[in-house]
Amino acid sequence: MDVLLAMSVYVRVVEDGSMTAAAQSCGMSTTMVGNHLRALERRLGVSLLQRTTRRQRLTEFGAQYYQRCVEVLGLVSDAERLAEVAQAEPAGRLRLTAPLTFGAERLAPALAEYSRLYPKVMLDVVLNNQRLDILDHGFDLAIRLGNPDPANGVIARPLEDYTMTICAAPGYLCRRGVPLSPLDLQRHDCLAFAYPAGDDWRSVEKEWRLQGPEGEVIVPVSGSLTINSSSGLHQAARAGMGVVMMPDALVEEDLGNGKLVALLQGYNLPRRPMNLLYAGDRYRLPKIRSFVEFALANWARR
């Protein structure tokens, strides 16, 4: 049993309010979170949480033990930072989070080169589209879409914008014709991504905004598919199901090999700012500094 890992999982369960939320923060399954808690309780011989189907509540001992865990993990973290600062070569565990599509299509392939350059750094990557607080959730760095929320001590370094392309498969265009103007899209099956509630791009489900020579054009769109998976939307477009507006990171290769065809290229599409976030007081750590420099070399805003 890794006692420190179990303690850190327990702290996340307490602070996040549930094992499900803690599992997302820790990048592990809910079952694994429960296993760590049970192992910790067996080791201690006392219950830490009172669980029901609807809620969890700390036992009296669990509340006291939580405070001790926070203190112990803080001391361990401080000790590790001292050791890391003393090293000239980047090393240790580097925990980062990134958006799903960018993380899978751009970040993951680039990590092979980062690992070749810094083989002593152990990468722990969590891909999701949640705006998790990097300090509260134990991340060293985050790549984040949208304008960064102001936070004490967090540095935001601008990366290249997250850009989109409207495209369709050649087979679909042969059947339905090529849209030559934004308003032509109203006569096409425009497939939609189901953005989660609260996302600042939720409106693109029903209308697409294009910027042309005469200003902004807002086009109401509809189609036979709405799906909450970028990968699923991508595959539907490749199969000829309709027209999509998708991130360049996902369709770039298909546009190059002809499996998808870019449309309305004389118009500018919505784009999202993207930033690299990290705690300013940790930049001196070689592992963090090395990744910041690596990310900026690959994706800095030009």
Tens digit of pLDDT at every position of the chain (302 positions): 788 899 999 999 999 888 888 888 888 899 999 999 999 999 999 999 987 666 788 999 999 999 999 999 999 888 877 766 666 789 999 999 999 999 999 999 999 999 999 999 999 999 988 877 888 888 999 999 988 876 778 899 999 999 999 999 999 999 999 999 999 999 999 998 887 655 555 555 578 999 988 889 999 999 999 898 889 999 999 999 999 999 999 999 999 999 999 999 999 998 899 999 999 888 888 999 999 999 999 999 87
Q: What is the pLDDT of residue 53?
A: 61
Q: What is the pLDDT of residue 205?
A: 57
Integer Cα distance of 5 and 72 in angstroms:
12
Do residue 112 and residue 168 come from a single domain? no
Residue the block writes with tokens 């790549």: 143
- Output the CA–CA distances (angstroms, integers) from residue 256 to 109, 172, 249, 259, 280, in the order listed: 18, 18, 12, 8, 39
Do residue 8 and residue 139 come from a single domain? no
Query: What letter would DSSP give residue 148?
Result: P
Q: Is-contact 168 225, C-beta < 8 A?
A: no
Do residue 286 and residue 141 come from a single domain? yes
Do residue 190 and residue 228 come from a single domain? yes
Integer Cα distance of 289 and 278 in angstroms:
10
Do residue 184 and residue 223 come from a single domain? yes
Q: 275 has which bridge partners?
A: 144, 158
Structure-token pair, residue 263: 């449309």
CATH of the domain at 121: 3.40.190.10
Tell which of 85, 115, 147 closes a domain: 85
Tell which of 58, 85, 112 closes a domain: 85
Tell which of 26, 60, 85 closes a domain: 85
CA atoms lying within 13 Å on the CB side of residue 150 = 0
Residue the block writes with tokens 């910041």: 292
Q: What ranges in 19-99 are assigned the alpha helix state H?
A: 19-26, 30-44, 60-86
Fill in the amino acid letter for 127: L
- Listed in order, strand segments (DSSP E) in the chain are 49-51, 56-58, 92-98, 121-127, 141-145, 154-162, 164-168, 192-193, 207-212, 215-220, 226-227, 244-247, 261-262, 272-279
Integer Cα distance of 100 and 127 in angstroms:
5
Residue 145's domain spans which residues? 87-161+273-299
Do residue 171 and residue 157 come from a single domain? no
Do residue 174 and residue 251 come from a single domain? yes
Cβ burial of 9 (10 Å; 0-12, 13-18, 19+) is: buried
Do residue 193 and residue 213 come from a single domain? yes
Total domains in the fold of the chain: 3
Q: What is the pLDDT of residue 246?
A: 93
Structure-token pair, residue 134: 């990097």
Closest-CA residue to 298 (of 122, 186, 159, 121): 159
Backbone angles phi, psi at 80, to 5 degrees: -65, -35
